[in-house]
């Protein structure tokens, strides 16, 4: 097998790194818009809220795209990260559940930057079907299979009540969707070939509550940790 390119990108970029690449990407895109041409790992790390060594190691997984003594070319890095994340092609998304959350998602302009196209909105409630939301007509959930097939949807977003989530998920998967983003508070069951990511408000709050309790439990240093902590720029 002849290696097509000089990049060492083997098949294993650590999950932890993958999860941070979007953060770097967003920071870099902001810089690009402001006309910044070059950035050091130190500066980019500060903006992204991480350690600079970690940033460099993360980027090193994509290849050696920096110049020693100078830093990274902003535009080039934007391109490389985009490509690595698969954003140079468009992904087709469908959203199931057009309640408050579904609408919020549908209207979430541009879905990040670009790279994602919302192809359809589904709901089971006939009072909602036919409404126009974010420029799309809401379709009945029973047309899911047809639409997913014809539109080539690869990512399904579940914004339904918890009770319907697994059912909708099964239908997505059966129709050929291979990635699911789940906002319903349930653990979804899928075949191993399907990726699921979960966003769960109440879990996040509970984690915060845990730490909040810890702060209170420990002691109550009258006003400590406040003043000497502020200086962080």
* Residue 59 binding target from a second copy, DNA, none, CB below 5 to 8 Å by type: DNA
105 is in an annotated binding site: no
Region binding a second copy by CB under 8 A among candidate stretches 60-68, 119-127, 135-143, 218-226: 218-226
Q: How far is CA 100 from the centre of its chain?
A: 20
Q: Which of 173, 89, 84, 156 is nearest to 118 (CA)?
A: 156
Write out the binding residues for a second copy, residues 60-99 only, by CB under 8 A: 84-87, 89, 91, 93, 99
When binding is defined by CB under 8 A, the residue of 62, 94, 101, 153 that contacts a second copy is: 101
Quick one: 58 or 123, whose CB is closer to DNA?
58
Quick one: 126 or 232, whose CB is closer to DNA?
232
**Residues whose CB falls within 8 Å of the CB of residue 62, separated by 6 or more in sequence, listed in order:** 7, 9, 13, 80, 81, 84
CB atoms within 10 A of CB 41: 20
101 is in an annotated binding site: yes
Asked if 66 touches DNA (CB under 7 A), the answer is yes
115 is in an annotated binding site: no
When binding is defined by CB under 7 A, the residue of 9, 30, 64, 206 that contacts DNA is: 64
Tokens for 213? 């309790």
C-alpha 180/C-alpha 172 separation (Å) is 8
C-alpha 78/C-alpha 26 separation (Å) is 9
Instruction: Determine the 3-state secondary structure of 187 from DSSP.
Output: coil
Asked if 53 touches DNA (CB under 7 A), the answer is yes
Cβ proximity of 105 and 122 under 8 Å: no
Give me the sign of the Cα torsion angle 31, 14, 19, 102: positive
Asked if 36 touches a second copy (CB under 8 A), the answer is no
Instruction: Determine the 3-state secondary structure of 100 from DSSP.
Output: helix
Write out the binding residues for a second copy, residues 140-169 only, by CB under 8 A: 154-155
Region binding DNA by CB under 7 A among candidate stretches 47-55, 103-111, 171-179, 201-209: 47-55
Which residues are annotated binding-site positions for NAD(+)? 97-102
Residues lying near DNA in the complex (CB under 7 A) are found at: 1, 14-17, 39-42, 50-54, 56-57, 59-60, 64-72
Which residues are annotated binding-site positions? 97-102
């Amino acid at each position: 097998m002849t290696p097509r390119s000089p990049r060492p990108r083997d098949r294993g970029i650590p999950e932890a790194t993958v999860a941070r690449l979007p953060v770097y990407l967003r920071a870099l895109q902001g810089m690009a818009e402001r006309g910044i041409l070059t950035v050091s790992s130190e500066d980019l790390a500060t903006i992204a809220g991480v350690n600079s060594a970690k940033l460099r190691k993360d980027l090193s997984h994509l290849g050696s795209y920096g110049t020693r003594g100078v830093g990274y070319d902003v535009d080039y890095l934007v391109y490389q990260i985009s490509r690595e994340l698969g954003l140079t092609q468009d992904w087709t998304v469908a959203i199931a559940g057009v309640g408050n959350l579904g609408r919020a998602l549908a209207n979430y302009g541009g879905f990040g930057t670009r790279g994602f196209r919302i192809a359809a909105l589904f709901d089971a409630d006939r009072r909602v079907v036919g409404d126009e939301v974010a420029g799309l007509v809401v379709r009945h959930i029973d047309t899911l299979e047809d639409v997913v097939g014809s539109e080539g949807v690869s990512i399904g977003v579940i914004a339904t009540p918890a009770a319907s989530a697994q059912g909708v998920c099964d239908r997505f998967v059966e129709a050929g969707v291979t990635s699911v983003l789940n906002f319903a508070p349930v653990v979804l069951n899928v075949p191993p070939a399907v990726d699921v990511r979960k966003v769960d408000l109440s879990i996040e709050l509970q984690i915060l509550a845990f730490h909040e309790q810890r702060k209170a439990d420990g002691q109550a240093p009258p006003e400590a940790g406040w003043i000497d902590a502020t200086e962080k720029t």
